[in-house]
Structure formats: C-alpha cells, structure tokens
C-alpha cells in the first residue's frame, strides 16, 4: 500500500468531508462510508479501500485507515 494510510484527525468530522479528503490525498483509494450498526462490510484487506465508519448523523466514529 502506498500513500497515506490513516486519518486520525478526521474522527468527529462529517463522513462525506472525510471521504472527499481521502480520495484527494490518496487517489489510489476508494472511500466507502458505512453506518455503524446498520451496514455490513467484508473482512478482506485491500490497499485501495478505506472504510469510513459514521454514526447515524454522518459523523466519523473511528480512525479511518486503509484496509
């Protein structure tokens, strides 16, 4: 995996804002916003994906990272 791999500074930010920033800072990744407790994700590791875990209000809950 190349480029920036995690964004701890975005915990508490809007998920859509975080999604745009990931893709701008590391164009190799596809950011996917998921609502905790509602959406399901796969467990496979991929260098081209960032899960953006948000609450029901769209606020980032966990440090987004490549995977």
Predicted TM-score (pTM) of the model is 0.85
User: What would be the CATH architecture of the domain defined by 8-66?
Assistant: 2-Layer Sandwich (3.30)
Which whole number is the average pLDDT over 47-61?
94
According to the model, what pLDDT value does residue 9 have? 94
Question: Residue 26's pLDDT is what?
Answer: 79
Domain chopping of the chain, boundaries: 8-66
What is the predicted pLDDT for the residue at 65? 86
Assess contact for 5 and 64: CB atoms under 8 A. no
- The model's pLDDT over 4-51, given as tens digits with 9 standing for 90+, comes to 788 999 999 999 999 888 878 878 888 999 999 898 899 899 989 999
- CA-nearest of 29, 38, 34, 36 to 51 is 34
């Amino acid at each position: 995996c190349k480029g920036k791999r995690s964004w701890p500074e975005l915990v508490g930010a809007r998920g859509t804002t975080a999604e745009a920033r990931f893709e701008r800072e590391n164009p190799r990744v596809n950011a996917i916003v998921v609502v905790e407790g509602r959406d399901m994700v796969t467990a496979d590791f991929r260098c081209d994906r960032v899960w953006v875990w948000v609450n029901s209000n769209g606020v980032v809950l966990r440090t987004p990272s490549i995977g």
